[in-house]
Structure formats: C-alpha cells, structure tokens
Amino acid sequence: MTGGPPVDAADAVDVVVIGAGLAGLTAATELAATGRQVQVVEALDRVGGRTASHHRYGQALDAGGSYLGVRHLRVRELAARFGLALTPTAAPGANLYDLGAGLLRSDAGRPAFNALAVGDALDRLDDLAATVPPADPATAEHAAEWDQLTVAAWAHRELRHPDARLLVDLLVRQMLAADPADVSLLHLLFYLASGGGVHYLTAFAGGAQQDRFVGGAHQLAERMAAALTRPVRHGAEVTDLYAVPSAGRPGARPGHGPVRVVGPGLSVLGTHVVVAVPPGPANRIRLHLPSVHRPAQPARTRGATVKLHLIYERPFWREAGLSGWVTARTGPLRYVVDDSAGRDGLGVLVGFVTGPDASRYAAGSGAARRVALLDRLAGWFGPTARQPLAVLERDWQAESTVEGCYAAVPEPGWWTAAGPPWPTTAADGPVRWAGTERCAQFYGHLEGAVRSGQETARRIIAADPVRAPAAQ
Ligand SMILES: Cc1cc2nc3c(=O)[nH]c(=O)nc-3n(C[C@H](O)[C@H](O)[C@H](O)COP(=O)(O)OP(=O)(O)OC[C@H]3O[C@@H](n4cnc5c(N)ncnc54)[C@H](O)[C@@H]3O)c2cc1C
C-alpha cells in the first residue's frame, strides 16, 4: 500500500531516524559522519528518551538512565568524544537492610543474608545464564521449560534457604523493575547473560553501576543532537510508514523504495528509516509497506518504575556512618541509594519503586504518598529524613512514548514464541528497528541502546555504501 500526505522536496533525505533517544541519535551521528542527509524526528520536545534530568539547586539529577559500568565501553567512548566527565557512584559506610526482622545495619562483619545460601543462589543463576546464548535465547537447551517457568516458581522449587529466595525476589524487582511472578526464568537468564552476569550487574565499584555522568546522563543525547547539521524535529510523533513506488528511480532495488514517514503535521521521505523507539510505541506505528515485516516485539511489557529523588541540605546519614543504601523486603520503596557524590554538599537520596508497587504507588494521592514515603525514610535514617528540601518523582509508566521501564520485560513464553527482536540475517529492507531492546548485548542498558544504534548504522552503510564522506 502506498500513500500519505505529500512531501516537500526539502524533506527528502537519505535516512529518517524516528526517536531521539541514545539509539536513534547514535545511529544518526554515525550516518551523518558518512555524508548522508539524516533527519531525526522525535515525539517529545526534548531529546534523550529514557535519559532525562530534573534540574534543581544547580544540579542535574538523573530521572531515568544514569549508571554505567566498566564494560559499557561504547557509552564511555561517546562520553569522551562529546566531552562529558564521569564520577564514581560508590558511597562509603554501612548499608541498611529492612528484611522483616528489624532494621539491620550491615558492615563487613554483619552480613544481612546467609552468605552461603545467597552465594550459592547467585552462582546458580550465573551458571544457568552461561547456557543461554544472548543472540538467540530460544536456542538454549532448556529454553522451552524456562520460558514457561516464572522466576518466582523457579526460586520456590529450587532454593531451599529463605534468604536465597528473598534475594532472588529483591534482585528481579530491582534489576528488571518487575515482579518475579511475572518474569520468565529464560528472560532473567538472558538478561544476565546479555549484561555480563549477576555479580557484575549488581555491583557498584567494578560493576554496572560504577559511574554516572557529571551534570546528568541527558547531556549525551543533547550533545549528539546539537552536533547534527539538521536539527531534530520535535513534536513529531510518527504514526504511519508508507511505501513510495521506486519505479524509474536510478539505482532503485525492488522492495527498497523510499519510505514516507508520517505523523500529525509531519511527512518526510527517507531512502532508509530507523525506528529507534521502544517496543510498545513501535507496535503502534502502522506499516503500509508490503515488503517490510515488523520484528518480534513483546505485546505487553511487565517493567514499571517510579524513580524518586529526595534532596537534603547535606548527606546527613553519613554522620551516622551510613552509606545511604537501603534494601527493604516490602514496598512500595524497596531500594535507596546515595547520589550525593560531587553535588556541592547537597544530600541526594534516590529511591526506586518498581513493578506492581509502582502502579499502586502512582495511583495514590500525592499528599498521602509523601507522608508515607517520609515515614519510611525516617524509620531508616532518623527524623532529619522528614525534612527534605524537595521530593521529585518521575513515573515512567505514565509516558506513552516508553511503555515499560527500565526496558521491556516480555511475558513468559514470549522468547520461544517470537524469536529475537534483532536482525538475525544480513538481509534488510528499507526499515530497521533500533533501541536497547534490539540489542543482544547489554539489553536494557544505555550501552545496549548505543550498540544497537551503531549496528543499525553499520547495516545501512553496508547495504548502501555509495555515499562518500562529505561535510554535511
Ligand atoms: C528510571 C530508569 C532508570 C534507568 N537506569 C539505567 C541505568 O542506571 N543504567 C543503564 O544503563 N540504563 C538505565 N536505564 C535504561 C536506559 O535508560 C535505556 O536503556 C536507554 O536510555 C534506552 O535508549 P533507547 O534509545 O533505546 O530508547 P529511548 O531512550 O526510549 O528513546 C526512544 C525515543 O523515541 C521517542 N519516540 C517514541 N515513540 C515515538 C514516535 N511514535 N515517534 C517519534 N518519536 C517517538 C521517545 O520519545 C524517545 O525519545 C534506566 C531507565 C529508566 C527509565
């Protein structure tokens, strides 16, 4: 089917990139560097997607993606290229555990969990993850069974010690922002294999949370966007992609005609199109292109997050020898970390409300929510916790351009029914899908988004290598 509103000749480009998150902007940056005309179109009035910041008290606070690890080499490389500094996240002091038997302060000598049971559970997860090929999880020997088995059911069946079961429960809620009863064992194992293993993924120093951006993660997208010759078009929510007949066009290949990218007030023509939006919104883009098939993507995702910031005059918990880190057995707030480092004396605690807790939390009244939140923090850190300068919330479930955070968590059975959501052959059409959910490595991370953007650009360049490098 062809059609859609007419397009102005000035709006015909080599590549249209839909979505100005890290994946889209990375693809655009790489393609523009080869001399291609690239137009990025973005639904929102800002760039960055799932990286965004609150600006308060002269500080930028990451409301979305924030931390990066020692293995996130492509993001580190981009940060250096665009002049952004990183700062370590580690906060010295004792951690607090609120696991149902009173508040436990855990210094090195007082582990909160049974070390043997917990160590064994983590090792088992890493051993099982090592049998899942991230490039195609459905080909793992036990994929069929593990895709139907939820993590909660697996933990109940396999882990004897209650501490081990509790740890796995907390881990899934924290790492995937989902309830372990909603997540298949196969998805968890894929996520671990993709991201470098459970020990790496959960660690701060030396692990996936080692650093954050000085001045906020959103700056990376902003700087990449600013360096593009064609400004990003904002307020441009894409709804439809139409085929345009390529007959008579010199060099046209069957099925590779230009594509008309359409939305309210938008009509742009691209020889290639990169759809760099998350799976939920990508499912809503209507395809009117006979030769293009939508890749496998979960119809419904299980991840949900409200990310909170509590700003204080000073990191007062450090005076009591506390690191600011809390893990709690019951919600809504189960995880707190200290984000104060390098913030000119301000104390900043970051809290995560995840999975079904996030929906319940967001549905409550603002005033009641705040009282309950401060009560909880006061129980952990004392009465000073009741006096923040500001409490900031970002409910990512409410954002229609995202649907499912931190990244898509497919329903049990999805991997074996659908297959991987990234290209598995060299064959490509004029439309390609990018994003952190389209990357077998570091799925769900900033690193996955950047790698996917780079890989998509590489495939376009390989498919259409005629452009000579030129100043755009
Ligand atoms: C609360 C939170 C905490 C996180 N913490 C971390 C962390 O510490 N470390 C880490 O590595 N990762 C973290 N992540 C994940 C990380 O932020 C994402 O993996 C990454 O930013 C995804 O980038 P992306 O380009 O794939 O997608 P996105 O950033 O979602 O970009 C997609 C873009 O497409 C736009 N769009 C959507 N639909 C349309 C449409 N129809 N037309 C036009 N534009 C459209 C969106 O507005 C958006 O700008 C976190 C995420 C969240 C939400």
As a whole number, mean pLDDT of residues 371-379 equals 96
Question: Is 406 part of any domain?
Answer: no
Q: At 30, which CATH number?
A: 3.50.50.60
**pLDDT on residue 468:** 41
Compute the CA torsion angle 209, 455, 172, 203 (nearest 10 deg): -20
Confidence band for 133, pLDDT divided at 50, 70 and 90:
very high
**pLDDT on residue 111:** 67
**pLDDT on residue 109:** 56
Question: Is 197 part of any domain?
Answer: yes
Residue 97: give the domain boundaries. Answer: 91-203+301-398
Judging by beta carbons within 10 Å of its beta carbon (0-12, 13-18, 19+), is residue 46 exposed, middle or buried? middle
Asked whether residue 314 falls in the same domain as residue 231, the answer is no
Question: Is 181 part of any domain?
Answer: yes
Asked whether residue 471 carries a pLDDT value surpassing 50, the answer given is: no
pLDDT digits (tens, 9 = 90+) for 221-247: 999 999 999 999 999 999 999 998 765
Q: At 133, which CATH number?
A: 3.90.660.10
Q: How many domains does the chain have?
A: 2
Compute the CA torsion angle 211, 213, 215, 220 (nearest 10 deg): -170
Last residue of a domain, one of 398, 417, 443: 398
3-class secondary-structure state, position 432: strand
Last residue of a domain, one of 398, 414, 446: 398
**C-beta 23 within 6 A of ligand 1:** yes
Question: Is 176 part of any domain?
Answer: yes
Asked whether residue 181 falls in the same domain as residue 314, the answer is yes
- CA-to-CA separations, 185 to 27, 60, 169, 196, 208, in angstroms, rounded: 32, 36, 12, 17, 21
- CA-to-CA separations, 214 to 20, 39, 50, 74, 262, in angstroms, rounded: 21, 29, 17, 17, 37
Asked whether residue 274 falls in the same domain as residue 164, the answer is no
Question: Is 282 part of any domain?
Answer: yes
Confidence band for 424, pLDDT divided at 50, 70 and 90:
confident
Question: Under a CB-based contact definition with an 8 Å cutoff, are residues 213 and 79 in contact?
Answer: yes
Report which of residues 76 and 204 the model is more confident about.
76
- Residue with CA closest to ligand 1 atom 26: 435
Cα 235 to Cα 169: distance, rounded to the nearest angstrom: 40
Asked whether residue 278 falls in the same domain as residue 391, the answer is no
Angle at 244 (CA atoms; ends 240, 247), nearest 5 degrees = 165
pLDDT digits (tens, 9 = 90+) for 5-42: 555 556 899 999 999 999 999 999 999 999 999 999 99
**C-beta 175 within 6 A of ligand 1:** no
Mean pLDDT, the chain, rounded, equals 92
Asked whether residue 126 falls in the same domain as residue 181, the answer is yes
| Alpha carbon of 468 to ligand 1 centroid (Å) | 32
Asked whether residue 118 falls in the same domain as residue 194, the answer is yes
pLDDT digits (tens, 9 = 90+) for 309-343: 999 999 999 999 999 999 999 999 999 999 998 78
Least Cα distance to 463 among 431, 437, 422, 424 occurs for: 431
Confidence band for 470, pLDDT divided at 50, 70 and 90:
very low
Cα 225 to Cα 29: distance, rounded to the nearest angstrom: 8
**pLDDT on residue 101:** 84
Asked whether residue 248 falls in the same domain as residue 322, the answer is no
Question: Is 278 part of any domain?
Answer: yes
Asked whether residue 392 falls in the same domain as residue 445, the answer is no
Asked whether residue 239 falls in the same domain as residue 264, the answer is yes
Asked whether residue 256 carries a pLDDT value surpassing 80, the answer given is: no
Ligand 1, pocket-test mutation among 277, 433, 454, most atoms within 8 A of CB: 277
Ligand 1, pocket-test mutation among 50, 70, 284, most atoms within 8 A of CB: 50
349's tokens = 């605690």
**pLDDT on residue 303:** 84
| Alpha carbon of 31 to ligand 1 centroid (Å) | 20
Ligand 1, pocket-test mutation among 301, 309, 406, most atoms within 8 A of CB: 406
Asked whether residue 134 falls in the same domain as residue 181, the answer is yes
Question: Is 143 part of any domain?
Answer: yes
Asked whether residue 407 carries a pLDDT value surpassing 90, the answer given is: yes
Could you write out the DSSP letters of every residue in 1-53?
Answer: -B--S---GGGEEEEEEE--SHHHHHHHHHHHTTT--EEEE-SSSSS-TT--E
Residue 156: phi and psi, rounded to 5, are -65, -40
Question: Is 65 part of any domain?
Answer: no
Confidence band for 144, pLDDT divided at 50, 70 and 90:
very high
146 Cβ contact partners less than 8 Å away, ≥ 6 residues apart: 128, 140, 154, 184, 185, 186, 189
**pLDDT on residue 110:** 63
Place of tokens 């933990």: 155
Asked whether residue 320 falls in the same domain as residue 367, the answer is yes
| Alpha carbon of 94 to ligand 1 centroid (Å) | 32
Asked whether residue 472 carries a pLDDT value surpassing 60, the answer given is: no
Asked whether residue 199 falls in the same domain as residue 287, the answer is no
- Residue with CA closest to ligand 1 atom 33: 19
224's tokens = 């990449």
Last residue of a domain, one of 349, 381, 398: 398
Centre a 10 Å sphere on the Cβ of residue 38 and count the other Cβ atoms it contains: 27
- Helices marked H in 285-354: none
Residue 24: phi and psi, rounded to 5, are -65, -45
